[in-house]
């Protein structure tokens, strides 16, 4: 007997359960919609399972190992500090499981129906959800696409047991003796730095003139200094040519200034960008417009050229950031509910969990000037901050970009300890239209790293306390 595929009807279908999709699903449900979320993988997507969260856990563990190994300047001397790598990986997995389990609980608490499978679009209001056993048709009033991205695989460097993408690098069974990283962007720098903290001999091959493109040189210089202190060799303007796998490692060939060189290592990590997951789901069948990179074209509410279909996260233009996807997910869910919410990226922070951390929000100095602003730049060093001194972590600064005419904060950059946390206050300043005086007049607890923001505000209004004009 053949059972018919009777369509399930929902208000909103969410395709993808990463930080964009699950947030969109919860917000849509909060606004009274009947929501179904579908994903072929685990809840939480790349970010929670094989991206943001496990990589930060590994970075954190690496810092702990470095600290445990001794801080001679502070009088801390340690002997025979070792790494139980199996335990590190087990702990990392526990962190991931707690968060993904939390996502499932949140979705269920908001009465979101969770479906495992792959989506393929039949028309502008219909999709088939398929798993290994069956196919179910869903009729939706609106759909939010949040299918994320995957690592770019280069033809000369096919992934294998020794040639890794970021997922492979996070799940190694051992701490490598040597590792080569192709790509000095945020993923390569974070993971290369993490393994260097555990003692791996790391070489980063970057094709451009500097690592961490998009950040100012005075910020990246700090990261390079720390990386070199960990023994990392950074080779810029290096074009990787190919890889030969040996019995127990890899032999990587690259070119620098016309000279071909070879380096051997246990593993090769390839981090040269990500590709949107917009293929093989039937978007062409329903006429959703995409650019030549496979990114979906959307308006300020995340709506595609097909009125019933929205897109968010890594599959639309902009940096592949988890918090960007979550923000866009809220906007799309609200737009579907009839709200006038629109996307505004001005206060979208960019963060790299390097050593030291880097963070930026709004305009940097050069972008502000290109946009026609007459700006004042005020930079306060962590070396003048009591809390940074007590942490023995004084490299870096907080930099405010303010409009000269009225002191309006239009951007900020932080390089140094807890930059990823400090940028939130500065993002609020940009979002809320605050001035440097507002920051200067906000009482900050002492001694804290957050005081650097207040001190930068003092400097911007011309009345610094703990630094010279």
CB-CB contact of 152 with 74 (8 Å): no
Q: Count of CB atoms within 10 A of residue 155's CB?
A: 6
Taking a C-beta distance cutoff of 8 angstroms, is the pair 231, 142 a contact? no
- Same domain as 107, residue 65: yes
Which of 63, 323, 444, 446 does the annotation list as catalytic? 446
**Contacts for 172 with CB less than 8 Å, ≥ 6 apart:** 164, 267
Q: Which helix (H) or strand (E) holds 375?
A: strand 375-381
> Are residues 120 and 26 part of one domain?
yes
Domain assignment present for residue 344? The answer is: no
Judge contact between 421 and 358, C-beta under 8 A.
no
131 within domain boundaries: yes
> What residue ranges in 258-297 does DSSP mark as E strands?
259-265, 267-270, 274-276
Long-range contacts of 449-452 (CB under 8 A, 24+ apart): 449/382, 449/385, 449/387, 449/388, 449/416, 449/417, 449/418, 449/422, 450/422, 450/425, 451/385, 451/386, 451/387, 452/380, 452/382, 452/385, 452/388, 452/397, 452/398, 452/414, 452/416, 452/422
Q: Is the pLDDT of residue 451 over 60?
A: yes
Q: Is the pLDDT of residue 127 over 90?
A: yes
- Within this chain, do residues 13 and 78 fall inside the same structural domain, yes or no? yes
Residue 439, C-beta contacts closer than 8 angstroms, at least 6 positions apart: 400, 409, 429, 453, 454, 456, 457, 460
* Residue 224: CATH number of its domain: 3.50.50.60
Mean per-residue pLDDT, 348-353 = 98
pLDDT value for 1: 35
Binding-site sequence positions for NAD(+): 183-190, 206, 273
User: Looking at the predicted structure, is the pLDDT value of residue 12 above 50?
Assistant: yes
In percent, how much of the chain has pLDDT > 90? 94
Collect all residues with Cβ–Cβ distance below 8 Å to 68 and sequence separation of at least 6: 78, 81
Chain segment 145-179, per-residue pLDDT in tens = 999 999 999 999 999 999 999 999 999 999 999 99
| Local confidence band at 4 (pLDDT 50, 70, 90 cut-offs) | low
The distance in angstroms from the start CA to the end CA of the chain is: 84
The answer to whether 38 and 8 have CB atoms below 8 angstroms apart is no
Could you confirm whether 446 is annotated as catalytic? yes
Rounded to whole angstroms, how far apart are CA atoms 469 and 467? Answer: 7
Q: How many CA atoms lie within 13 A of 36 on its CB side?
A: 21
**Are 145 and 22 members of one domain?**
yes
pLDDT digits (tens, 9 = 90+) for 34-85: 999 999 999 999 999 999 999 999 999 999 999 999 788 899 998 889 999 9
Residue 244 has pLDDT above 50, yes or no: yes
Looking at residue 2, what is its pLDDT? Answer: 43
For residue range 247-298, what is the model confidence (pLDDT) as tens digits? 899 999 999 999 999 999 999 999 999 999 999 999 998 999 999 999 999 9
Domain carrying residue 378: 356-460
The binding site for FAD comprises 56, 147-149, 314
Helix (H, G, I), strand (E, B) or coil at 203: strand
- 132: pLDDT confidence band, cut at 50, 70 and 90? confident
Paired tokens of 141 = 């009033």
**Same domain for 235 and 191?**
yes
Is residue 348 domain-resident? no
Peptide bond into 286 cis (omega under 30): no
The mean of the pLDDT values for the chain is 96
| 272, 287, 322 - which closes a domain | 272
Tell whether the model's pLDDT for residue 5 goes beyond 80: no
pTM comes to: 0.95
253 and 308 in a common domain: no
Q: State the total domains in the chain.
A: 3
């Amino acid at each position: 007997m053949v059972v018919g595929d009777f369509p399930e009807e929902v208000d909103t279908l969410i395709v993808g359960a990463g930080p964009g999709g699950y947030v969109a699903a919860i917000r849509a449900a909060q606004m009274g919609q009947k929501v179904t979320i579908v994903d072929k993988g685990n809840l939480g997507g790349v970010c929670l399972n094989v991206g943001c969260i496990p990589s930060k856990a590994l970075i954190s563990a690496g810092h702990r190992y470095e600290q445990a190994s001794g801080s001679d300047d502070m009088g801390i001397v340690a002997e025979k500090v070792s790494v139980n790598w199996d335990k590190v990986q087990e702990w990392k997995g526990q962190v991931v499981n707690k968060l993904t389990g939390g996502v499932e609980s949140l979705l269920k608490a908001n009465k979101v129906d969770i479906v495992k499978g792959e989506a393929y679009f039949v028309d502008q209001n219909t999709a088939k959800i398929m798993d290994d056993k069956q196919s179910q048709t869903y009729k939706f009033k609106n759909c939010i696409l949040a299918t994320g991205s995957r690592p770019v695989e280069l033809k000369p460097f096919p992934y294998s047991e020794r040639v890794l993408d970021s997922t492979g690098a996070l799940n190694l069974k051992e701490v490598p003796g040597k590792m080569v990283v192709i790509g000095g962007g945020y993923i390569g720098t974070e993971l290369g730095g993490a393994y260097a903290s555990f003692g791996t001999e790391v070489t980063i091959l970057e094709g451009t003139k500097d690592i961490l493109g998009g950040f100012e040189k005075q910020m990246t210089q700090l990261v390079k200094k720390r990386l070199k202190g960990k023994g990392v060799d950074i080779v810029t303007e290096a074009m990787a040519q190919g890889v030969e796998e040996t019995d127990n490692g890899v032999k990587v060939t690259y070119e620098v200034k016309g000279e071909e060189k070879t380096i051997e290592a246990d593993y090769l990590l390839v981090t040269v960008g990500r590709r949107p997951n917009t293929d093989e789901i039937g978007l062409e069948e329903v006429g959703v417009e995409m650019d030549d990179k496979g990114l979906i074209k959307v308006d300020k509410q995340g709506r595609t050229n097909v009125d019933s279909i929205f897109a968010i996260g890594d599959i639309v233009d902009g940096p592949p950031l988890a918090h960007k996807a979550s923000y866009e997910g809220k906007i799309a869910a609200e737009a579907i509910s009839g709200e006038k919410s629109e996307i505004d990226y001005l206060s979208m922070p960019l963060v790299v969990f390097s050593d030291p951390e880097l963070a930026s929000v709004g305009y940097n100095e050069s972008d502000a000037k290109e946009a026609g602003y007459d700006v004042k730049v005020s930079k306060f060093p962590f070396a003048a901050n009591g809390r940074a001194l007590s942490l023995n972590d004084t490299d870096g600064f907080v930099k405010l970009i303010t409009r000269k005419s009225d002191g309006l904060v239009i951007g900020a950059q932080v390089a140094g300890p807890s930059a990823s946390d400090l940028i939130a206050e500065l993002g609020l300043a940009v979002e809320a239209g605050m001035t440097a005086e507002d920051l200067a007049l906000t009482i900050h607890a002492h001694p804290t790293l957050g005081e650097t923001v207040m001190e930068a505000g003092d400097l911007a209004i011309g009345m610094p306390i703990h630094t010279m004009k």
